[in-house]
Amino acid sequence: LLTSGCTNQRGAGHYCKLSSHKNIIDLAREIAIAKAWIVTEVITLLQKRQKAAFPIYLNWYREHLPDWLDNVKKML
């Protein structure tokens, strides 16, 4: 789910070749923002519904999210 900005740009580049979306950088930013939104939704829903998996996801995100966000911040 969480990949570096470079990976987002690489994926955006492949997608742009197949679609009418022409700006790779803009698409990579949109992908990163969508991933951040997904993280927020997952954590919120797991917590609200008191799911047993909540601590597992929360710990994983705490471990991986800071580095990912540092990479994304450079893109934005």
- Find where tokens 């740009």 sit: 9
Q: Please tell me which residue, 8 or 9, carries the higher pLDDT value.
A: 9
Q: What is the pLDDT of residue 7?
A: 66
Residue 17 predicted with pLDDT over 80: no
Q: 61, 69, 71, 11: which is closest to 39 by C-alpha?
A: 61
The model's pLDDT over 26-76, given as tens digits with 9 standing for 90+, comes to 888 888 888 899 999 999 999 999 999 999 999 999 999 999 899 888 877
CA–CA gap between residue 69 and residue 67 (Å, rounded): 5
CA–CA gap between residue 38 and residue 1 (Å, rounded): 9
Distance from the Cα of residue 14 to its chain's centroid:
17
Q: What is the pLDDT of residue 24?
A: 79
